[in-house]
């Protein structure tokens, strides 16, 4: 594999960091959602000793946790960047990466964190609590390692045709922008609830599959629309404010319709406030990611 030098170094790092941020954020959310429902984290966090250590799963702070994952992903990228050639050049690079994450990030942390050796020795947390968190962390880091190494290695394989490569880049950009828009929903939900004085049941939002699927549906709609905007015959006919308006309508109507069909009706003003934030994230993301190739002046 060739080393990155000169002006290409920053570009190479940003691509590498983008992949890590995307893979980490998605795997973190997916395994957190599965394991929180499987092991009933909401009930566990309310037990004696545990409740003094962990915030309730329905607290606003816990609900905002996913917003920090892109920052964690960027920190991971900074730490792994000097080691990337060693990891990617090894036959079992995924195992090396997973081993690093397990040893330094889970079992051998300097702090007395849950599931770590220091945590078992120095904290008052019961042993079962240290063990119950391992499946989520081990599976998430394993999946992260497999996907990242497999994805990164494709850069050093024979390149596909120009058409296939362009399509893959468009899909990747659409998914990344939609992921950040997903976080816009979280911010919008909290801020709009404060403004509209509407109480949000954070515990239900964090642990109920039906509620989470609503945002997954919106995520799919956003990805499809972003891909459509990548077509020149669509993109160059739309001004920036039109792009924002389009996604504002979509990100308002989809949750509104989903709530009406499967949950309970949502106040229209609240839905409109929530829809502003993902629409803004997508519009900015399109502007920065696609620039003039996708968005008309």
| Same structural domain, 221 and 265 | yes
94, with CB counted inside 10 A (0-12, 13-18, 19+), is: buried
pLDDT value for 196: 53
| All residues at 6 or more sequence positions from 284 whose CB lies less than 8 Å from its CB, including other chains | none
DSSP SS3 for 116: coil
Residue 170 lies in a domain: yes
| Same structural domain, 104 and 144 | yes
Contact 13, 141 (CB under 8 A): no
Of 92, 125, 156, which residue constitutes the final position of a domain?
A: 156
Of 156, 189, 215, which residue constitutes the final position of a domain?
A: 156
| Same structural domain, 174 and 71 | no
Of 135, 156, 177, which residue constitutes the final position of a domain?
A: 156
| All residues at 6 or more sequence positions from 241 whose CB lies less than 8 Å from its CB, including other chains | none
| Same structural domain, 101 and 171 | no
pLDDT value for 296: 43
Whats the size of the chain, residue-wise? Answer: 297
| Same structural domain, 131 and 15 | yes
Residue 174 lies in a domain: yes
Q: Range of 19's domain? A: 8-156
| Same structural domain, 96 and 182 | no
| Same structural domain, 61 and 197 | no
- Residues of the chain with confidence (pLDDT) below 70: 1-7, 58, 60-63, 155-172, 180, 182-215, 230-238, 262-267, 287-297
What distances in angstroms separate CA 210 from CA 55, 143, 204, 216, 217, one per listed residue? 23, 24, 9, 10, 11
| Same structural domain, 279 and 184 | yes
Between helices 8-38 and 69-80, what is the axis angle to 10°? 130
Count of the separate structural domains present in the chain: 2
What distances in angstroms separate CA 191 from CA 126, 144, 225, 266, one per listed residue? 37, 31, 25, 16
pLDDT value for 39: 77
What distances in angstroms separate CA 66 from CA 33, 62, 158, 164, 173, one per listed residue? 11, 8, 36, 32, 20
pLDDT value for 74: 92
Residue 98 lies in a domain: yes
| Same structural domain, 260 and 134 | no
| Same structural domain, 25 and 152 | yes
Q: Which of 192, 209, 196 is nearest to 280 (CA)?
A: 192
Residue 166 lies in a domain: yes
Residue 249 lies in a domain: yes
Residue 1 lies in a domain: no
Residue 143 lies in a domain: yes
Residue 3 lies in a domain: no
| Same structural domain, 139 and 170 | no
| Same structural domain, 169 and 140 | no
């Amino acid at each position: 594999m060739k080393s990155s030098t000169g002006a290409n170094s920053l570009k190479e790092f940003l691509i590498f960091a983008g992949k890590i941020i995307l893979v980490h954020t998605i795997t973190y959310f997916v395994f957190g959602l599965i394991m929180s429902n499987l092991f009933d984290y909401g009930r566990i966090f309310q037990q004696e000793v545990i409740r003094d250590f962990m915030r309730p799963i329905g607290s606003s702070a816990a609900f905002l946790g996913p917003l920090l994952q892109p920052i964690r992903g960027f920190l991971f990228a900074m730490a792994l960047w000097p080691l990337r050639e060693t990891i990617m050049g090894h036959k079992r690079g995924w195992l090396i990466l997973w081993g690093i994450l397990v040893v330094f990030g889970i079992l051998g942390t300097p702090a007395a964190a849950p599931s770590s050796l220091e945590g078992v020795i120095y904290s008052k947390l019961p042993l079962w609590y240290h063990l119950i968190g391992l499946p989520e962390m081990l599976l998430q880091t394993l999946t992260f390692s497999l996907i990242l190494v497999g994805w990164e290695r494709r850069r050093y394989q024979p390149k596909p045709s120009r058409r296939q490569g362009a399509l893959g880049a468009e899909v990747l950009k659409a998914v990344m922008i939609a992921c950040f828009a997903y976080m816009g929903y979280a911010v919008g939900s909290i801020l709009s609830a404060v403004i509209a004085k509407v109480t949000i049941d954070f515990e239900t939002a964090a642990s109920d599959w039906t509620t989470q699927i609503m945002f997954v549906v919106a995520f799919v709609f956003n990805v499809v629309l972003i891909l459509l905007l990548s077509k020149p015959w669509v993109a160059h006919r739309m001004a920036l404010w039109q792009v924002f308006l389009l996604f504002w309508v979509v990100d308002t109507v989809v949750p509104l319709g989903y709530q009406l069909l499967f949950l309970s009706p949502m106040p229209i003003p609240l839905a409109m406030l929530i829809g502003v934030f993902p629409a803004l994230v997508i519009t900015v993301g399109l502007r920065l990611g696609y620039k003039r190739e996708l968005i008309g002046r």
